[in-house]
Structure 1
Amino acid sequence: MIIQGNDPTISPSFSLQNRIMRQLWNCAWLLLFRPSPRPFHAWRAGLLRLFGAHIGKHVHVYPAVRIWAPWNLEIGNHVGVADGVTLYNMDMITIGDYSVISQGAHLCGGSHDYNSQNFQLMAAPITLQSQVWICAEAFVSQGVTLPAGAVIAARSVVTRSPKDAWTVYAGMPAKPIRKRTQHVK
């Protein structure tokens, strides 16, 4: 999907097909997704499915969520994604069942190789296992997998996959601060 070895100052980083699909999605987001009333979760889920997203049951994606490429999105059942969330999914973002992503959180699936001459664009998937909560304005970087039951505290930064399930992580970089009670759904 990402063009390798290009000069990003004068040429695109993505195929023409990808750029056309993203423009179509941007128009649909602006005209149909963003202005939809807050309770119209099924409408927004339908639009996301129309653009290739895999959406489970009882999913609440609010109207001010920014999604870069719906075809790179998989959301499980009973998931909430709050207004102001950015899902910058150049690669797959997978959100497990019973997870919550709070206001202003940013899941960033792309970056640049600072050691390459052209700052080569690169992407990697982000995976949230079940019952994960990403609190307000937290940042999750490309290539990260969050284990089941993890909580990422408000404004925390996660650049590497945490190891322990059912743990609260906080800070920059996020570190484990306490265990939480496991709930089986």
Structure 2
Amino acid sequence: MDKFENEQMKDYVTPVINLSKAPGERQAWGRPAIVVYLWSAIELLFIYNPWQISSAVRVAALRAFGARIGEGVLVRQRTRVKFPWNLSIGDNCWIGEGAWIHNQNRVDISNDVVISQETFITTGSHALAADMALITRPVIIEEGAWLATRSIVLGGVRVGRSAVISPNTVIPPNTTIPENSIVGLPMIQVSKKRFPYEDLGAK
């Protein structure tokens, strides 16, 4: 920043957004308030509750509130799901302990996907330079993908077929992870192919 810019910035006051006027509250609920409140109670008792050990009970509760869940799905303790009516899970998926699916928009999980412990998937963000209005984008996780422990996936992300997200990796909004890739720290990049091409019959 040069001297002229310094002079211009001297009297500049960084703005603060009044959150009491931020639009978007309840717009993403998708159900009447009574259903949302009832779901919050059911989630606490039957989904998140570490003393409730039955995956079948969790799956049944999620389905009862509109989640589309395939066969052979395991959902472990301390899982959280914001709105089950925005959730689709294919067959033979594993949802690890403490996973949090904050789905104010659609989250579609295909077959044979692993969501490991403490992974956070969120579809929501805010208009940070305007009025902090709620912005939501769907998250798509294709078949065979693995989101390793404590990874974070933000709105608009598509994780490709059989891709692996390494532990503690943050996938930025609107990112597409190529299929058959392993991505992770220190930056979002493809480190190698999961399955060598020669094993896939490539010439």
Q: TM-score band, normalised by the shorter chain?
A: 0.7 to 0.9
Q: How does 1:31-110 map to 2 (within 5 A)?
A: 31-35=45-49, 37-38=52-53, 40-110=54-124
- Hey, what does 1:133 align to over in structure 2? 146
Superposition CA RMSD, Å: 2.2
Partner SS, residue 33 of structure 1? helix
The 4+ residue runs of structure 1 with deviation greater than 6 A are: none
Check the 8 A contact 2:73/2:94 in 1, yes or no.
yes
Matched, 1:9 2:23: no
Greater percentage in helix? 2
Identity of aligned residues (%): 26
AA in 2 matched with 1:143: G
Check the 8 A contact 1:64/1:85 in 2, yes or no.
yes
Distance in structure 2 (CA, Å) of the matches to 1:83 and 1:18: 29
Measured after TM superposition, the shift of residue 145 of structure 1 is 0.5
Measured after TM superposition, the shift of residue 114 of structure 1 is 1.0
Partner SS, residue 9 of structure 1? helix
Distance in structure 2 (CA, Å) of the matches to 1:51 and 1:128: 21
Check the 8 A contact 1:78/1:97 in 2, yes or no.
yes
AA in 2 matched with 1:146: V
AA in 2 matched with 1:14: R
Distance in structure 1 (CA, Å) of the matches to 2:95 and 2:134: 27
Q: Mean alpha-carbon deviation: is it higher for 172-181 or for 82-91?
A: 172-181
TM-score normalized by the length of structure 1: 0.86
Partner SS, residue 34 of structure 2? helix
Q: 1:56 to 1:156 in 2, by over 3 A?
A: same
Distance in structure 1 (CA, Å) of the matches to 2:148 and 2:106: 21
Q: 1:173 to 1:9 in 2, by over 3 A?
A: farther
TM-score normalized by the length of structure 2: 0.79
AA in 1 matched with 2:26: F
- Hey, what does 1:175 align to over in structure 2? 189
Check the 8 A contact 1:158/1:172 in 2, yes or no.
no
Unaligned runs of 5+ in 1: 1-6
Check the 8 A contact 1:90/1:109 in 2, yes or no.
yes
Check the 8 A contact 2:169/2:185 in 1, yes or no.
yes
Q: 1:163 to 1:45 in 2, by over 3 A?
A: closer
- Hey, what does 1:148 align to over in structure 2? 161
